[in-house]
Structure 1
Amino acid sequence: MRVHRATAALMVCAGVALATATAPVSASAVSDPPSGQRVAVVDCAGKALERPGSFILACGDGNNVLKSLRWSHWTSPSAAAVGMDMVNDCRPYCAAGHFHGYPVRVRFDNPQPRSGHSGQQHYTRVTLTYPADRPTNTPRVVTTRLWS
């Protein structure tokens, strides 16, 4: 019985992660601009977005999501926002874990040409800065590469 419950919980979480990854967010899709001046961030589904209201950092399982993003700027060199980093504590395991929110400053930068999308640039790096509380064993500033 316990295995069935754990399997069911895992399937529900996987479904929620998939639905979140494919659900529209408060962002605009970006087409290939003729001038090549616009920069996007690429989500888990491969869609280029500008100023998304939320952004999944853990595409495989959806256990880390940036929410309530408010953008102060979105330019060719970088984009900056404040919001909440929602992180699953995965205790005792991820399907049974709980999400905790941490205020965070977000910076996308290091734009590069997007392969297969003529004239489109995409941010390739994200930096998260936690001004107060942060997830366990997480440094105050975390910088990581984004997928393309």
Structure 2
Amino acid sequence: MRAQRAKTTILVCAGAALAAAGVSAPVSASSAPRTRPGAAVVDCAENPQVRPGTFMLACGDGNNVLTSLRWSRWQPQSAVAEGRDMVNDCRPYCAAGHFHSYRVRVRLDEPQHRPGHPGQWHYTRITLTYPADRPADTPRVVTTRLWN
């Protein structure tokens, strides 16, 4: 009984303080709106990026990078851009290869909590859609998981 009275007193005082400050508080935790902070895409150096102009897909060797990205949407559930996919043909081998540029649509989605970073969300899946030419042996639509 004493614990309940103390809890009630604290809640009443907190509510009065918020009212005095001109801020409204939700009646209960279950009535609070569930909002998700914006998600980011994590780059090769493990830095979160929002609306990056370039994004490395091949972190190990740098032979595939998205460039000239123009984001038309960046929302908590997904992000969409158009740009160029710069791909090294690695012929006769990657160090002697040539980069080729392809128009691409990019979609980031499936946001999840970022491990080890409380409160941060990151996209975990990327879909590339090639509306015209595309790299050899590459389907028109490619969907893959992003690293953490």
Structure 1 moving runs of 4+ over 2 Å: none
Shift of 1:98: 0.2
> What letter is aligned with 2:133?
D
User: Equivalent residue of 2:95, what SS?
Assistant: helix
Show the counterpart of 1:116: 116
Q: Deviation string for 1:11-46 (max 9, x for gaps)?
A: xxxxxxxxxxxxxxxxxxxxxxxx751110000000
Q: Deviation string for 1:48-97 (max 9, x for gaps)?
A: 00000000000000000000000001001100000000000000000000
> What letter is aligned with 1:58?
A
Show the counterpart of 2:18: none
User: Equivalent residue of 2:49, what SS?
Assistant: strand
Paired with 1:45 and 1:120, the residues of 2 have a C-alpha distance of 16
Using CA pairs under 8 Å that are at least 6 residues apart, name the structure with larger relative contact order, 1 or 2: 1
Paired with 2:43 and 2:133, the residues of 1 have a C-alpha distance of 26
User: Equivalent residue of 2:92, what SS?
Assistant: coil
Show the counterpart of 2:11: none
How many residues of Structure 1 are paired with residues of Structure 2 in the alignment?
Answer: 114
Q: How does 1:72-91 map to 2 (within 5 A)?
A: 72-91=72-91
For normalisation by structure 1, the TM-score amounts to: 0.76
Show the counterpart of 2:54: 54
- Backbone CA RMSD of aligned residues: 0.9
Long gaps (5+) in structure 1: 1-34
Long gaps (5+) in structure 2: 1-34
> What letter is aligned with 1:62?
G
Task: Indicate the structure (1 or 2) with the bigger Cα radius of gyration.
Answer: 2
For normalisation by structure 2, the TM-score amounts to: 0.76
> What letter is aligned with 1:47?
N
Percentage identity across paired residues of the two chains: 72
User: Equivalent residue of 1:46, what SS?
Assistant: coil
Q: How does 1:1-40 map to 2 (within 5 A)?
A: 36-40=36-40
Q: Is the 8 A contact 2:126 2:146 kept in 1?
A: yes
User: Equivalent residue of 1:100, what SS?
Assistant: strand
